[in-house]
């Protein structure tokens, strides 16, 4: 852990964030017991409702998006998660089904300026998205510009909540230190985001049980935690849910459900 941030974040309004509650002097997570996770079996309706059926490849075609929605209808997944250009199509295909449309914002790097993220979020909401998975500007976070990060998230949250839409903040945990994960979670919670989410699936790593447990520890029991990236089996999903996830983002939803039924 850096000397300047050993106990507190000394960055404007975030000077009172006490990292020592979560991390020891070496930056290791305190009191994180992963040895006794309760991997309770989930029924098919229970697991499908927690899955965001996902297709975010930039080369995805219209027909592939149609198939994604058909699969969501067949398996009754909780939501589909797509790039914003496909939001309107998904809204049309899923109309009246109760399946939500989640649109990614600032994807996958999180580096567009705030105004661009807000504009993309506004269009996604107009096109029918009721959930926004926005990528945090993790370059700014790693630079220590926490005020920028907070403003960036807050502006999207403010717009979304005016339209009763949820915001999931993607942290990209594989590129963050333990300290940075804690800070990111605390900022997302403070500015009113509804979820924190591990990964885009486009970086070096995806969700881990350790990261989910840490995120749950930091945000507490009332905020959503989404595991995404590398969740490919029912066993993977069970572990993430046992560690504290409340939503699973995956392109392997059908496999997960089929394994749950076996």
What confidence score (pLDDT) does residue 46 get? 86
Q: How far is CA 119 from the centre of its chain?
A: 20
Whether pTM > 0.95 for this model: the answer is: no
Q: What is the pLDDT of residue 13?
A: 58
Phi-psi region of 99 (alpha: psi -120 to 50; beta: other; left: phi over 0): beta
Q: Is 42-261 a domain of CATH 3.20.20.70?
A: yes
Give the catalytic positions in this structure: 133, 197, 226
Whether residue 108 has a cis bond before it, omega within 30° of 0: yes
Bridge-based pairing of strands 131-135 and 100-105 is parallel
Predicted confidence at residue 7, as pLDDT, reads 37
Residues facing residue 8 across a β-bridge: 18
Integer Cα distance of 136 and 107 in angstroms = 9
Q: Measuring CA to CA, which residue among 228, 226, 157, 214 is closest to residue 186?
A: 214
pLDDT-based confidence at residue 204 (cuts at 50, 70, 90): very high
Q: Is the pLDDT of residue 28 over 90?
A: no
198/226 Cα distance (integer angstroms): 7
With bands split at pLDDT 50, 70 and 90, how would you rate the model's confidence at 8?
very low
Summarize pLDDT for 141-200 with one digit per residue, the tens: 999 999 999 999 999 999 999 999 999 999 999 999 999 999 999 999 999 999 999 999
pLDDT digits (tens, 9 = 90+) for 41-76: 666 678 999 999 999 999 999 999 999 999 999 999
């Amino acid at each position: 852990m850096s000397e300047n941030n050993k106990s507190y974040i000394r960055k404007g309004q975030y000077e009172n964030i006490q990292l020592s509650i979560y991390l020891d002097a070496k930056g290791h997570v305190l009191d994180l017991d992963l040895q006794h996770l309760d991997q309770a079996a989930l029924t098919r309706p229970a697991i499908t409702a927690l899955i965001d059926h996902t297709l975010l490849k930039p080369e995805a075609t219209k027909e592939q998006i149609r198939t994604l929605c058909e699969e969501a209808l067949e398996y009754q997944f909780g939501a589909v998660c797509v790039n914003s250009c496909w939001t309107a199509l998904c809204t049309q295909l899923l109309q009246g089904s109760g399946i939500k449309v989640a649109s990614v914002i600032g994807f996958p790097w999180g580096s567009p300026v705030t105004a661009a993220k807000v504009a993309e979020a506004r269009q996604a909401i107009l096109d029918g998205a009721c959930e926004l998975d926005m990528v945090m500007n993790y370059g700014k976070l790693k630079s220590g510009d926490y005020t920028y990060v907070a403003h960036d998230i807050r502006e999207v949250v403010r717009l979304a909540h005016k339209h009763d839409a949820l915001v999931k903040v993607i942290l990209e945990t594989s590129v963050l230190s333990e300290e940075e994960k804690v800070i990111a979670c605390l900022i997302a919670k403070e500015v009113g985001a509804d979820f924190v989410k591990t990964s885009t699936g486009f970086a070096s790593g995806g969700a881990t049980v350790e990261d989910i447990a840490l995120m749950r520890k930091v945000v507490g029991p009332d905020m959503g935690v989404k595991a995404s990236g590398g969740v490919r089996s029912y066993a993977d999903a069970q572990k993430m849910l046992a560690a504290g996830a409340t939503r699973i983002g995956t392109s392997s939803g059908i496999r997960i459900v089929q394994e749950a039924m076996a």
